[in-house]
């Protein structure tokens, strides 16, 4: 693969003080057996060294379901029901946390998040404030998805992407994703033993995502694609990511020295602020607003608000304040161009679509917002 996606130029990590380290299930409970400290001890040493150097570490830890499965001592059938998976998470979560607290030998805090915590703006800010306070108290947050109560429709789904959200929440300088793979390869090394490791990615696009295979192990829920998706989210918010093997005991030691082993995904040149990240990545659109070429141009070229006059169609049943996707419809088909918070319910917007803002009161019977989506609540895709 050639430029501009990949560069082999020698480069050191940017200076960092706060890091989020995601630890995969296969490092915590190898092959689905009981929790093992084999790969966790180097991480504990890294946390201690960071504390001594005035650096901060947040751990996003997988392994609750795997630990719960091992705790039972009997096999659990593949494709188990949601209730069984939630029960396994409830069994394994305290054991996983106790393992970390024992190894780290310093104040640790368990933080369980769900997609709902990321979608609801107030809860998102509360989570941010809690994590920030824990770091100020010099505690180590141990973060996981709240698997024991989350239903499939409201799950983040994998801890790689959860780690990217946490990195943005705590305004980390670096995201490190550790698993049983050494980084991103030009092809799947399990089926192509001669595949070369890609040491550095300047950006992640569809060509890079096409390199990713399926799940990396029978224990975890994420494969290389979820790691790349997470790295892309972090990069958009100005956070570089290292994807590396947690089975290499010196991976984190190298990072502490400003080097890396594995693949470095560089941060984007322009950075999304926290609210833009929330709009773009944390929320699921409740509907779509179809716009004409004039509105599309105003949004893309001038960063304008979306006015009702530029709306040609409304799809879905959403309420004012819900996230919606803005779609340009032209002769060449449809293309999503933005996401934002609707100022009107879907039914109201259908009634005022195509109308100038000064006509809103006469149509709805009350004076509402002049915009369908204000530019402060909108992010381009």
- Residue 8 has what pLDDT? 42
What does DSSP say about strands 197-198 and 184-185: parallel, antiparallel, or unpaired?
antiparallel
**Separation between Cα atoms, residue 199 and residue 9, nearest integer Å:** 9
Q: pLDDT tens digits for 207-265?
A: 888 877 544 443 444 488 899 999 999 999 999 999 999 998 889 999 999 998 899 99
Residue 13 resides in a domain: no
Q: What is the pTM of this model?
A: 0.77
Output the domain CATH number for residue 178: 3.40.1160.10
- Residue 374 has what pLDDT? 93
Q: Which residue in 118, 123, 135, 145 sits closest to 171, CA to CA? A: 135
198 and 173 both lie in a single domain: yes
29 and 113 both lie in a single domain: yes
Three-state secondary-structure class, residue 184: strand
Of 251, 277, 303, the residue at which a domain comes to its end is: 277
What does DSSP say about strands 174-179 and 18-23: parallel, antiparallel, or unpaired?
parallel
**In the structure encoding, which two tokens stand for residue 143, read together?**
């973060």
Residue 341 resides in a domain: yes
Are the beta carbons of 37 and 103 closer than 8 angstroms?
yes
CA angle 206, 283, 313 (to 5 degrees): 85
| Domain that includes residue 374, residue range | 285-380
183 and 59 both lie in a single domain: yes
Residue 3 resides in a domain: no
Distance of CA 108 to CAs 111, 151, 165, 217, 343, Å? 10, 27, 20, 28, 42
159 and 254 both lie in a single domain: yes
Residue 7 resides in a domain: no
Of 277, 307, 342, the residue at which a domain comes to its end is: 277
Q: pLDDT tens digits for 37-81?
A: 889 999 999 999 999 999 999 999 988 887 888 777 766 666 677
**Separation between Cα atoms, residue 81 and residue 207, nearest integer Å:** 35
**Separation between Cα atoms, residue 62 and residue 34, nearest integer Å:** 13
Q: Which residues of the chain have pLDDT under 50?
A: 1-4, 7-10, 153-154, 214-222
């Amino acid at each position: 693969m050639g430029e501009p996606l990949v560069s082999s130029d020698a480069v050191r990590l940017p200076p960092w003080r706060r890091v989020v380290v995601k630890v995969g299930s296969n490092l915590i409970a190898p092959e689905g057996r009981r929790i093992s400290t084999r790969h966790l001890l180097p991480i504990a040493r890294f946390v201690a060294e960071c504390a001594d150097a005035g650096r901060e570490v947040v751990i996003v830890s997988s392994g609750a379901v795997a630990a719960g499965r091992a705790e039972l001592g009997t096999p659990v059938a593949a494709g188990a029901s949601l209730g069984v998976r939630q029960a396994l998470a409830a069994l394994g979560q305290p054991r996983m946390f106790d393992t970390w607290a024992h190894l780290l030998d310093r104040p640790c805090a368990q933080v369980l998040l769900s997609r709902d915590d990321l979608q609801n703006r107030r809860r998102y800010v509360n989570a941010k404030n809690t994590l920030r306070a824990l770091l100020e108290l010099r505690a180590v947050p141990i973060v996981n998805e709240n698997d024991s109560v989350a239903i499939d429709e409201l799950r983040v789904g994998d801890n790689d992407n959860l780690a990217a959200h946490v990195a943005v929440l705590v305004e980390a300088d670096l995201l490190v994703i550790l698993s049983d793979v050494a980084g991103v390869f030009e092809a799947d090394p399990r089926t192509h033993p001669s595949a070369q490791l890609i040491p550095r990615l300047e950006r992640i696009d569809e060509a890079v995502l096409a390199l990713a295979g399926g799940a990396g192990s029978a224990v975890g829920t994420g494969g290389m694609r979820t790691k790349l998706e997470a790295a892309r989210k972090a990069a958009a918010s100005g956070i570089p990511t290292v994807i590396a093997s947690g089975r290499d005991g010196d991976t984190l030691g190298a990072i502490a020295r400003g080097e890396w082993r594995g693949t470095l995904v560089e941060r984007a040149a322009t950075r999304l602020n926290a609210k833009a990240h929330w709009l773009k990545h944390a929320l699921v659109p409740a509907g779509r607003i179809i716009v004409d070429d004039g509105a599309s141009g105003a949004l893309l070229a001038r960063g304008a608000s979306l006015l009702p006059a530029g709306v040609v169609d409304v799809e879905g049943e959403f309420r004012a304040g819900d996230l919606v996707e803005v779609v340009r419809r032209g002769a060449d088909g449809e293309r999503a161009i933005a996401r934002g918070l609707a100022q009107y319910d879907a039914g109201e917007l259908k009634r005022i679509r195509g109308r100038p803002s000064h006509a809103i009161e006469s149509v709805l019977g009350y004076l509402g917002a002049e915009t369908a989506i204000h530019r402060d609540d909108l992010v381009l895709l």
